[in-house]
Amino acid sequence: MIQKYTYGAPLRTDAVVHEIPAENGSPAYGTVNTQNSFTFTYRMSADDIVYGLGEANRGINKRGYCYTSDCTDDPNHTEDKRSLYGAHNFIVVWGAQTFGMFFDYPSLITFDIGYTRADTLSVSCESADLDVYVITGDTPYDIVKQFRRMTGRSYIPPKFAFGFGQSRWGYKTKDDFRKVAAGYRENHIPLDMIYMDIDYMDSYKDFTLSSEFSRFPEFVREMKEDHIRLIPIIDAGVKVEDGYSVYDEGVKNDHFCKREDGSFFTAAVWPGDTHFPDFLDPKAREWFGDKYRFLTDQGIEGFWNDMNEPAIFYSREGLAEAKELARRFAQSDGGSWDGQQEEVGVWQMGDKLQSLANSPEDYRRFYHNINGKKVRHDKVHNLYGFNMTRAAAEAFERIDPDRRFLMFSRSSYIGMHRCGGIWTGDNKSWWSHLLLNLKMMPSLNMCGFLYAGADLGGFGADTTRELLLRFLALGVFTPLMRNHAALGTREQECYQFEGIEDFRHVITVRYRLLPYLYSEYMKAALNDDLYFKPLSFVYPEDRMAARIEDQLMLGNEIMIAPVCEQNGKGRYVYLPEEMLFVKFLPDGTVSEEIFGQGVHYVDIALNEVPMFIRKGKCIPLADPAECVDDIRTDHLRIIGYAGTEYVLYDDDGIHKDYENEKNYRTLRN
């Protein structure tokens, strides 16, 4: 059952697709205080578990820390961070009382889940103008599925998007891309996509191409003939430059965000001075969305949206304030080093310089036009990335309504899951981020984001051969499987390391499993279900399962338990029931061994991919292939328990004929 409680005058976010009438009174759980602000407070029992919050830090069980929904461009995902790129205000409390809550609020909102007081859940925001949805059900899994139906079907990408992709900030020429393609193809490492970061553009201007990419349609065809799709990035900011058509049109037609005085807001991002399209205005959204035609008309079939929190390096106002502070700092002879601050101290100066980027003051400097009303950006900050990606999704419906396009974004709000997927942003080549990748997946699924993944190997810092292989062994199972690295870091394309055969094997396992992974993704999307689940969702009576955070259920047949520590030769696993332990071995064979319920230590070599098949289940395996186009689904091998069946979903991977009964067939082991 879902109940809605409306406080004040909420702004419509479009997160919810099924209209639910508002109730009188207050929620049956906790207490609500709306004096001067909004606070929901609930006293937790000792064993309560709290799920949700999508792209949030730390564990699957969110209890014990404080989280803030405030879409933030921060590449340092350390444990102390409270905000990441997404704002996903859905939680499920499981324990003495079991219920879910969605706080549909587009600005900063804080979830204090046993942080200030160990027994208290407190949700607070500045304005008491929001809709609160309370969902009751028998289990957290039931509650999540109700929420998923309420917020609408998850985005469905084309089938090629389930292949392996290679990316790096720094590919600048056609030959850079050809080199990557050759490195994979010559070493017979499967590959379906190469991503184009900001250097493909002319001076970082959206919907342009640098002079290095003349005759671009021919180059797109060249890559596609090798079964490789090019996937360009699109940033949120539009360069301020007379004569640049996107800028000129945006100014002429009033499509950019403005200051309070009516002038266009200017801030610096990659191109220098930029204006931000007002994606919360349907006219601006339609205008910007149609710009994707510049690339789709040249053969492009997918994109990734970035810098859409929006990220701000600095504003003119912020820079002017820093310059004035620097002038005062210089006049004070550099301030005082002994803690006795003179006019301007060194720490004050340092703090100002560090706070220039993504400053809360800047987010209060510009406004949106929402139904003719001027709304300050910070009041709707968390909707910006959602509506940028919505602009693209709506445009794809106009460009080619029968075709699926690949689309994922960095910033997001619930509702964007209908428009595209997400990647988890600028992670690091850290073992802790491999584990964070694993733990974030089910929480994202709970909020509707099924097409998700992290930068395998880590984006920032220098990866190692071991870390990349372990990251890839997890990435085999995530819908988005992409190796991505930052400019200036160690080159981490899979062919750059010794023992290339190990990388070939691990990625080939992805392609052998792809018919199953795609099938389970489609079933989850079409049935408002989960692709990844915590163990407790499948085994709710098993309290030990509820404590396990480094193993996940995938689909309805398998459990994954990757190795997430340096020099690990294997790991302990907990099996809630008898399961078949499967390892994909480097010689192409598959080992199978039955383990009973309980705790086991399993050996997992660096060049092996492990998984477990649930008792009474089986899954299909394809023959090895080097691209999705070459995967044969008419000759599938079945592994798992004898005498069992698997219902395979398989369509053409391009069009939207999802409900056709011909997409399903039963396979028997």
Given the residues 199, 306, 626, 651, select the one marked as catalytic: 306
Number of H helices, E strands in the chain: 15, 39
Given the residues 48, 70, 235, 309, select the one marked as catalytic: 309
How far is 214 from 500, CA to CA, in rounded Å?
A: 33
Per-residue three-class SS string for 98-113: CEEEEEECCCCEEEEE
CA dihedral of residues 311, 313, 317, 320 (deg, nearest 10)? 170
How far is 514 from 535, CA to CA, in rounded Å?
A: 22
Alpha-carbon separation of residue 339 from 283, 326, 493, 555, 663 (angstroms): 53, 18, 49, 58, 71
Q: For residue 309, indicate whether it is catalytic.
A: yes
Question: In sequence order, which residues have a C-beta less than 8 Å from that of residue 604 and are 6 or more positions away?
Answer: 563, 568, 569, 570, 571, 583, 610
Say what angle helices 384-399 and 282-290 make with each other, to 10 degrees: 60
| Half-sphere exposure in the Cβ direction for 246 (13 Å, CA) | 26
- Which residues is 86 bridged to in the sheet? 412
Overall residue count recorded for the chain in this entry: 669
C-beta separation of 150 from 133 below 8 A = yes
Lookup result for tokens 């002994």: 338
Q: For residue 426, indicate whether it is catalytic.
A: yes
Backbone torsions φ then ψ of 512, nearest 5 degrees: -70, -35
Alpha-carbon separation of residue 645 from 591, 639, 665 (angstroms): 20, 10, 10
Q: For residue 281, indicate whether it is catalytic.
A: no
Alpha-carbon separation of residue 319 from 241, 312, 316, 359, 541 (angstroms): 20, 12, 5, 11, 57
| Half-sphere exposure in the Cβ direction for 190 (13 Å, CA) | 27
How far is 398 from 487, CA to CA, in rounded Å?
A: 36
Q: In this structure, which amino acid lies at residue 538? A: V
Lookup result for tokens 């360009």: 232
Q: In this structure, which amino acid lies at residue 198? A: I
Given the residues 206, 426, 528, 557, select the one marked as catalytic: 426
Nearest CA-CA partner of 364 in 349, 378, 375: 378
DSSP 348-376: HHHHHHHTSTT-HHHHTS-EEEETTEEEE
Lookup result for tokens 């040249």: 298
| Residues with active-site annotation | 306, 309, 426
